[in-house]
Structure 1
Amino acid sequence: MTISVTQLNNYIHGVFDIDGVLNDISVCGEVTNVKSSRDGWYFSLKDENSAIDCFCYASATQPEVGKMVVAEGKINYWTKSGRVSFFVRRLTVSRNDGAAYLQFLQLKEKLQKEGLFDEVRKRPLPVFCRKIGVVTSATGAVIHDIENVIHRRQPFTDILLYPVKVQGVGADLEIAQGVNYFSSCDVDVVIVGRGGGSNEDLSAFNSECVVRAVAQCKKPVVSAVGHGVDFTLCDFAADKRAVTPTEAGEFVTVDSSAVINAIQQRLLRASNVVEKQLSESKNRTEYSLQRISSVLKLNLHENVAKVKGSIARQNACVQSAWQRENLQMQNVLSRLSAANPANVLKRGYAYVRSEKGRVYSASQVTEGQKLTVTFGDGSAETIVTKVNNET
């Protein structure tokens, strides 16, 4: 008899549905690969030889990686994918943790006591990294993600890859060797990373040799192992932890376009400030000039008024002085005119001269003496016939 895949899956699903053991079963195992979702948690239960995928709702006990638990529920068979999963209704933590998780905790405690995880020993990342060393797989998506983000944000950066296995036997030794190599190389920073995976996949980054290499590296180290929910001891020892390889690339670069934009914005703000200051200075200067001009005009008007007033007063004084002097001069002229011999002669007086000169008195003449008598309109020659002296 030949049947289709769907018929086969439906048949198996029916067998699972009627099987009493599979519909109500308790399974003991170690929790691994926990992933959260909107409805609950996806995880795996494993023992030394096998593992099974599980799901439980958020209302159940939250599964923790490495814990030994007893899961109660039913086995589901998904007809579309032919996949078996364990739907967990109840989760009880066992008294004994998983062996791998215990080893993880013991190593973490040991290294923590040695100070390898202390925040005080962590170094800041360089502001500008020109050479970046990367320890990861040469074929995985991690190196491509790192290269893409670095070349996009900071195109002038050199990326040096030290290719390693990131899981499996010997992976931890290769990773430690890569970190040690870059410790003595001419690089500014080192990125150690891989993509997400199960606890077993990430176990190389919990290895003591890797943690010590990261802690002892002479260059700042960025750990980019797994995704945001994954934590390894390498993360604790590194100077900086990135939740993804892409974020690691962002940590060690500056966005050149953002820097250019920031510079342009600063220049624009500076230009605006200078322009504003120049405008304010111009306004203050113009205002000062207007005030000075107003003051000068006011002072000029006042001074002109003062000068005009002074000139008017001087003119008045000069006029008054001129009138006064003119009056005095007229008086003098009048007196001079009155004292003018010609005018005196015109009033009937005469001017007498002898051969000896002016005659002022009758005592100066004698009878028979010739005299010249000058009148206002002429003169006459006369001879003295008689002298009358009044005593």
Structure 2
Amino acid sequence: MESSNYLSVQALTKYLKYKFDQDPYLTRVFLKGELSNVKKHTSDHIYFAVKDNASVIRGMMFKQKAGRLSFDPVEGQSVLIEGRVSIFETSGQYQIYADSMQIDGIGMLFEQLEKDKKELQQKGFFNAEHKQPLPKYPSHIAVVTSETSAAMRDMLTTIERRYPVAKLTIINTLMQGSGSRDNVIQNLKKADELNADVIILARGGGSIEDLWTFNDKEVAVNVFNTNTPIITAIGHETDTTLVDYVSDLRAATPTAASEIAVPDMNDLLIKIEEARLYIYKRTLDKIRDSRNNLSSLSNYYKLRSPELLYDQETQRLIHLNTQLNERMRNRQKDARYYSERLDRNLRYLSPLPEIRSFREQLHHLDKSLNTQMNSVLKQSQRNLGQILEMLDSLSPTAVLKRGYSFTTKDDKLIKSTDDVKNGDYIKTTFREGTVTSQITEVNRND
């Protein structure tokens, strides 16, 4: 067969791509599946795969379409994709080119759950220091669950078998569907007000939608805020809801929660019997040891002759008493000698004689000072009188009294005819007053 009859790989791929692009059923495809192998290229294009239980298809979303997404695609998200199916010629692989993508209904719930979980974790709701310890021997247990559920019957059977002395308060609660969220929150608050020792929040298995009430953030916050220690047992062992992270303890199943909440009465009875036998044995051992000790003491030689117990101590007491008296006498003698020596030194070094001598000198100096002060005062008084008489004789007032006067111009004394001129006003001062004049003529003596 001639080689011209054979197609190249490229030609076949182009043909198939042409068929895909022309098929109206492939130009607009609505696809539902789970994302895997999600990668965001540096060019902002998104590459991914979409799979279900049986098949997988490659896919990509160009930058322009990816920029319109309201969420970040991640591994495991259930999504709804609208796009077209075509062949990538380079690899010859068919894939879906996504025009839009949105989270599937349950996927949106999981997206919100992850956000709520991250928020509560950052606030410390999951931290171990907030976990309350469970009581070892609870006397009152509050159970928040549905009265008609198989989980309720299993819990009742388990508690009555293991620890029948505990009081049970069953709070019938709507555990799924419309209104279950508010009913669970309301009954959690009611259970917390009962002053019970522990609360069990439980329901049996079911679909993820049936359990979703316990993934609600407000329900989880109310579980966290209960003052009573709380055990959560939601669904099967593989089911973990948001309330399980904030409760004080998570149980795999409702039955397991009952086993955790109460001890086994049979185990307690065995422990009590073991404790009774232990106390009985220890008591017998103590009595035997005490009897042997008593027998040993009764045969002790000093107890046969009681004076041997105290004669040595009596002699030692006498010796110590003698030593004490001797030391006290020596101590008193030394103190008396020291006191007498201090008294002699004080008398020898006494400042009283010197004080008396200085006092006499002070008296003599005081008397001499008074005498000299009186003499100086009298002499000063005489000198003052002479000075006053001299000042009085030189006083202008005294000169005025003898009929003299003095003349001033502008409050300045006129001493010469050069100090005035015609027309000047002058003031002449006499003993009894002043006269103001105007100069009409000035005559100078050569």
Scaled by the length of structure 2, the TM-score of the pair is: 0.43
Structure with bigger helix share is: 2
Greater relative contact order: 1 or 2 (C-alpha under 8 angstroms, separation 6 or more)?
Answer: 1
